[in-house]
Amino acid sequence: MINSNEQALAAGAEAQQQFLTDKVNIFLFDLKNEATEHGFKSGESWNLQMVTDDEILDLKRTHNLVVSMRFKPYVLLQAYQQVKNGIQQSVSKDETDLSVNDLIREGKQHIAAYPTRIPRK
């Protein structure tokens, strides 16, 4: 028999997973809308990165279009992998080898996507 504490933990984990899935779906929806609005052609894609606060500012200065979302480090890698899967890009070995401690140490807090084209001049 499962005690109420275990049920509460399971329910909390399920709710957290659903919240993450919802945020990832919103991010993917935003990418699709931006691609449509900016006339992506067949074969064009997104560059996707996990970035720091400073790096997101640099990306916004150098690219006309940046879609980003902030995540807690303990879910950032999972969200990143789900987004990559959603846009049909593979996750590199270096990315799968990252740990939460690596992300915290490096200050990574955002998923940022920008088109492979249209750098700002």
How does pLDDT run across 27-42, given as a tens digit for each residue?
999 999 999 998 888 7
How does pLDDT run across 58-81, given as a tens digit for each residue?
999 999 899 999 999 889 999 999
The DSSP annotation for 5-22 comes to HHHHHHHHHHHHHHHHHH
**pTM, rounded to two decimals:** 0.83
User: Is residue 46 pLDDT above 80, yes or no?
Assistant: yes
CB 68 within 8 A of CB 56: yes
